[in-house]
Structure 1
Amino acid sequence: MELWNRVLSLGAAGFLWALLICCVIDCLETDINCLKTIKASVQDPLNYLNYSWNFDNSTEGFICRFTGVECWHPDENRVLNLKFSDMGLKGQFPRGIEQCKSLTGLDLSNNEFSGPIPDNISNITQFATSLDLSSNSFSGQIPVSLSKCGYLNSLRLDHNQLSGQIPPELSLLGRLKSFSVASNLLTGPVPTFGPNASVTADDYANNPGLCGGPLSRCTAKKSSSTKIIVGAATGSATLTAIGVVIGMFFYLRRVSVKKKDDDPEGNKWAKSLKGSKGLKVSMFEKSVSKMKLSDLMKATNNFSKNSIIGSGRTGTTYKAVLEDNTLLMVKRLQDSQHSEKEVMSEIATLGRVKHRNLVPLLGFCMAKKERLLVYKYMPNGILHDHLHSLDDPNKAMEWTLRLKIGIGAARGLAWLHHNCNPRIIHRNISSKCILLDADFEPQISDFGLARLMNPIDTHLSTFVNGEFGDLGYVAPEYARTLMATPKGDVYSFGVVLLELVTGERPTQVTKAPESFKGNLVEWITELSNNSQLHDAIDRFLVGKGIDGEVFKVLKVACSCVLPAPKERPTMFEVYQLLRAIGERYNFSAENELMMPIDSGDSDCLEELIVAREARDQNG
Structure 2
Amino acid sequence: MALDAKLALLLIHILTVAGNGYSSLQENYYGSEHEHRKKLDSSFKSGFATGYAFSSVSILAIFMSCCVPWARLKKRKRNKMMMKTPMMTSLIERREKRIKEANEQICMLGNIVKRLSFAGISKATANFSQANKIGLGRMGTMYMATLPDGRFLAVKRIVDSQQFEEQIVSELKTLGTLKHKNLLPLLGFCVESNTRLLVYKYVSNGNLFDWIHSVKHRRKTLQWPLRLKIAVGVARGLARLHHGRRGQVVHLNISSKCILLDKNFEPKLSNFGKAKLIMSMSNSPGVHDEFCEMALVKEDVHRFGVVLLELITGMDCSRMNFSSNNILNEWIDRRPTMFQVYKDINSITKRCEVVDDSEIQMQPEICPATSHD
TM-score by length of 2: 0.55
- Residue of structure 1 in register with 2:358 after alignment: 559
Indicate whether 1:450 and 2:251 are aligned: no
Indicate whether 1:528 and 2:326 are aligned: no
**Letter in structure 1 aligned against 2:259:** I
- Residue of structure 1 in register with 2:131 after alignment: 306
- Residue of structure 2 in register with 1:424 after alignment: 249
**Letter in structure 1 aligned against 2:366:** E
- Residue of structure 2 in register with 1:549 after alignment: 344
- Residue of structure 1 in register with 2:299 after alignment: 488
- Residue of structure 2 in register with 1:477 after alignment: none
- What's the secondary structure of 1:450's corresponding residue? coil
Aligned 8 A contact 1:314 1:446 in 2: no
Q: Distance in 2 between matches of 1:494 and 1:501?
A: 11
- What's the secondary structure of 2:257's corresponding residue? coil
**Letter in structure 1 aligned against 2:193:** K
**Letter in structure 1 aligned against 2:155:** V
Q: Greater relative contact order: 1 or 2 (C-alpha under 8 angstroms, separation 6 or more)?
A: 2
Q: Using a 3 Å threshold, how does the CA distance of structure 1 residues 400 and 388 change in structure 2: closer, same or farther?
A: same
Q: Using a 3 Å threshold, how does the CA distance of structure 1 residues 390 and 523 change in structure 2: closer, same or farther?
A: farther
Q: CA RMSD in A?
A: 3.9
- Residue of structure 1 in register with 2:69 after alignment: none
Q: Using a 3 Å threshold, how does the CA distance of structure 1 residues 292 and 505 change in structure 2: closer, same or farther?
A: same
Aligned 8 A contact 2:144 2:153 in 1: yes
Q: Residue by residue, what CA displacement relative to the aligned partner does 1:340-359 show, whole Å, maximum 9, x if unpaired?
A: 9x966972553121011100
Aligned 8 A contact 1:425 1:484 in 2: no
- Residue of structure 2 in register with 1:569 after alignment: 368
Q: Using a 3 Å threshold, how does the CA distance of structure 1 residues 524 and 432 change in structure 2: closer, same or farther?
A: farther
- Residue of structure 1 in register with 2:161 after alignment: 335
Aligned 8 A contact 2:207 2:257 in 1: yes
Q: Residue by residue, what CA displacement relative to the aligned partner does 1:241-286 show, whole Å, maximum 9, x if unpaired?
A: xxxxxxxxxxxxxxxxxxxxxxxxxxxxxxxxxxxxxxxxx69689
Of the candidates 501, 506, 510, which is equivalent to residue 312 of structure 2? 501
Indicate whether 1:297 and 2:92 are aligned: no
Q: Residue by residue, what CA displacement relative to the aligned partner does 1:288-313 show, whole Å, maximum 9, x if unpaired?
A: xx953212112223223332323333
Within-5 A mapping of 1:74-223: none
Q: Using a 3 Å threshold, how does the CA distance of structure 1 residues 568 and 328 change in structure 2: closer, same or farther?
A: same
Q: Residue by residue, what CA displacement relative to the aligned partner does 1:144-192 show, whole Å, maximum 9, x if unpaired?
A: xxxxxxxxxxxxxxxxxxxxxxxxxxxxxxxxxxxxxxxxxxxxxxxxx
Shift of 1:393: 4.4
Shift of 1:331: 1.4
Shift of 1:505: 1.2
Q: Using a 3 Å threshold, how does the CA distance of structure 1 residues 391 and 345 change in structure 2: closer, same or farther?
A: closer
Aligned 8 A contact 2:259 2:269 in 1: yes
- What's the secondary structure of 1:374's corresponding residue? strand
Shift of 1:336: 3.5
Q: Distance in 2 between matches of 1:531 and 1:388?
A: 20
- Residue of structure 2 in register with 1:387 after alignment: 212
Q: Using a 3 Å threshold, how does the CA distance of structure 1 residues 524 and 406 change in structure 2: closer, same or farther?
A: farther
Within-5 A mapping of 1:252-291: none
Q: Using a 3 Å threshold, how does the CA distance of structure 1 residues 530 and 317 change in structure 2: closer, same or farther?
A: closer
Aligned 8 A contact 2:308 2:360 in 1: no
**Letter in structure 1 aligned against 2:208:** L
Percent identity between the aligned chains? 43
Q: Using a 3 Å threshold, how does the CA distance of structure 1 residues 401 and 344 change in structure 2: closer, same or farther?
A: closer
Q: Distance in 2 between matches of 1:345 and 1:569?
A: 25
Q: Distance in 1 between matches of 2:242 and 2:269?
A: 13
- Residue of structure 2 in register with 1:438 after alignment: 263
Within-5 A mapping of 1:237-252: none
**Letter in structure 1 aligned against 2:312:** V
Q: Residue by residue, what CA displacement relative to the aligned partner does 1:223-253 show, whole Å, maximum 9, x if unpaired?
A: xxxxxxxxxxxxxxxxxxxxxxxxxxxxxxx
> How many residues are aligned here?
244
Of the candidates 393, 398, 403, which is equivalent to residue 228 of structure 2? 403
Aligned 8 A contact 1:495 1:557 in 2: no
Give 1 or 2: higher helix fraction: 2
Max Rg structure = 2
